[in-house]
Amino acid sequence: MKALNAQQSRELEQRAQQQGCPLLQLMEQAGAAVARFFKKKYEMEQKRVVVLCGRGNNGGDGFVAARYLAENKARVVVLLVDGQPATENAAAMYRRLYEQPAVRVFSYSDDRELAFSLLETADFIIDAVYGIGFHGRVAAHMEPLFEQVSKAAAVVVAVDIPSGLLCDTGTMEGPCIRADYTVSFSTLKCAHILNPGKELCGEVSVAPIGISAALIDQQAAAVQVTEMADVVRAIKPREPESHKGSFGRLLCICGSTGMAGAAAMSISAALRCGVGLVDAALPRDIYPVVATQAQEAVYTLLDILPEGKYSVESRRSLEKSSSLCSAILLGCGLGVAPHTKALVEEVISGSRVPVILDADGINSILGHIDILKTTDVPLILTPHPGEMSRLMGKTVSEIQQNRVRYARQFAMDYAVTLVLKGAGTVIAAPDGSIWLNRTGNAGMAKGGSGDVLAGMLASFTAQGIPATAAAAVAVYLHGLAGDRCAAQLSQTAMLPTDLIAMLPKLFLEIGR
């Protein structure tokens, strides 16, 4: 599914108008869609609804919703929060309100105390103050109103986007209405997926308003949002005559003393995602721990000499394993000792197959990241915000304020696929295209979740799925597994290993 920025949303509306769909008609359909949302979800008769309407077209959508809700016998009050409507179409819909005499209209500026009282006693509040074109900070005289909405016990539903939120970045410069639900028109918007916007939007539903699917398909998008349909397209059914060689061979160079669990989780996740064979290259001393948890892998055991180098035999074994594999995963508890840093550099420069850098694989190249430019094979990096800040020399706050921009910049500068982890994981391709993810929850914020994701991603890559698609599929399924675990086990009690245990059920659904 596409997610549009503000300019792209305007372009889509303009093209719809050029094809004979007037803006007034789109506004009517938008307001009707908001009313349908309520009708499907709630019994509205005699419910108290306050519709906050701004001066622009978002307010026009609110006028229409008010009219339809009154027809459904709700007790509707329209609150003009910033004076009379200022656009031609919003003014037309304001005049049509008087066709429905049951709707009462008040002005916020005339009687603030009355406005606050209405909000305090409302069952539902509809936020139609600002739309996707909003930028800057909410006007000072509106801040008490927004504060009152936040105090209200009512269910809050935003029209297209919560007011105060910046459409393109999902950030805000001042107060912002927090919605329980958001009804978006035609497509998702970037702010629905990017935090903190994602949290402020609540549950988002996309409603058609008469713009054809063909026009939406033709519209350039800021980002793509991964859906189950994308996963189904990427993971093909297995042919009856398949064998383990049909599904790739993954070399996992992971683990170190004290970090056996990271290796075990990444290997187990890779195996659960269908790769034909996992060759796990790890220090000999952690082999007994890892092998008991991942029995299906084969193992290349590495010996580290007292001077801190791999033995000659270990290096030969690694060279052989590298020559046989279809993808390499580097990281997941690998450590950042001098011998591992040297190995990471050698693999990146010399690999003939895709390489996935996670955790210590990323930390090993800090200070000389230009090594990423020394290879033509696909590279996938999976940093969390802290690692991303070190890669780019930015603060974590700077990265988090504009995750899409920095992910895209890094991916294009270094010709890599970049998976910027966190709430609303961002996947950036070397060509600048962006995929965003909506699955996942805070219960996954535990040590080991990243190792599971790295193993899943590496597995799909080893099976021949292109880098960006493999990343999008892995991130989506990883988050979906987390959501299922949270529902069954709670966010507090769920563990990264539970994600691996959930994967078979997800693959059954994909197969169906």
The tokens of 491 are what? 């966010």
**Please, which residues bridge with residue 433 across strands?**
none
Which residues make Cβ contacts (< 8 Å) with residue 426, sequence separation at least 6? 403, 404, 407, 418, 419, 420, 434, 435, 436, 437
Judge whether 276 is annotated as a binding position.
Answer: no
Distance set, CA 463 to CA 278, 418, 457 (Å): 11, 19, 10
The residue among 230, 156, 218, 228 whose CA lies nearest residue 187 is 218
Judge whether 371 is annotated as a binding position.
Answer: no
Judge whether 136 is annotated as a binding position.
Answer: yes
Judge whether 451 is annotated as a binding position.
Answer: yes
Which residues make Cβ contacts (< 8 Å) with residue 397, sequence separation at least 6? none
Judge whether 146 is annotated as a binding position.
Answer: no
Judge whether 58 is annotated as a binding position.
Answer: yes
Dist CA 97 CA 21 (whole Å): 22
Q: Is the dihedral of CA 117, 146, 438, 269 positive or negative?
A: negative
Judge whether 104 is annotated as a binding position.
Answer: no
Dist CA 508 CA 299 (whole Å): 29
Judge whether 450 is annotated as a binding position.
Answer: yes
Judge whether 20 is annotated as a binding position.
Answer: no
Look up residue 221 and give its DSSP letter.
Answer: -
The residue among 304, 340, 354, 336 whose CA lies nearest residue 471 is 354
- The one-letter code for the residue type at 419 is V
Q: Phi then psi for 77, rounded to 5 degrees?
A: -120, 130
How many CB atoms within 10 Å of residue 309? 16
Judge whether 382 is annotated as a binding position.
Answer: no
Judge whether 422 is annotated as a binding position.
Answer: yes
Dist CA 336 CA 502 (whole Å): 32
Dist CA 235 CA 208 (whole Å): 29
Judge whether 367 is annotated as a binding position.
Answer: no
Q: Is the dihedral of CA 184, 187, 190, 192 positive or negative?
A: positive
Which residues make Cβ contacts (< 8 Å) with residue 425, sequence separation at least 6? 419, 436, 437, 440, 475, 479
Q: If you write DSSP's letter for every residue of 378-400 in order, what string do you get?
A: -EEE---HHHHHHHHT--HHHHH
Judge whether 135 is annotated as a binding position.
Answer: yes
Question: Per DSSP, which regions of 213-269 are E strands?
Answer: 223-225, 249-254
Judge whether 267 is annotated as a binding position.
Answer: no
Judge whether 57 is annotated as a binding position.
Answer: yes
The tokens of 217 are what? 């398909």
- The alpha carbon of residue 503 and the mean position of all alpha carbons in its chain are separated, in whole angstroms, by 19
Judge whether 96 is annotated as a binding position.
Answer: no
Judge whether 132 is annotated as a binding position.
Answer: yes
Burial class (CB in 10 A: 0-12, 13-18, 19+), 442: exposed
Residue recorded with tokens 């609110």: 62
Provide the Cα torsion 66, 198, 477, 401; round to 10°. Answer: 150
Q: Are strands 417-420 and 249-254 parallel, antiparallel or unpaired?
A: unpaired
Judge whether 137 is annotated as a binding position.
Answer: yes
Judge whether 424 is annotated as a binding position.
Answer: yes
Judge whether 61 is annotated as a binding position.
Answer: yes
Judge whether 281 is annotated as a binding position.
Answer: no
Judge whether 83 is annotated as a binding position.
Answer: no
Judge whether 131 is annotated as a binding position.
Answer: yes
Dist CA 69 CA 495 (whole Å): 45
Which residues make Cβ contacts (< 8 Å) with residue 271, sequence separation at least 6? 278, 294, 296, 297, 459
Per the annotation, where are the binding residues?
57-61, 127, 131-137, 160, 163, 262, 333, 384, 421-425, 450-451
Binding-site residue numbers for K(+) are 58, 127, 163
Annotated binding residues for AMP? 421-425, 450
Binding residue positions for (6S)-NADPHX: 57-61, 131-137, 160, 262, 333, 384, 451
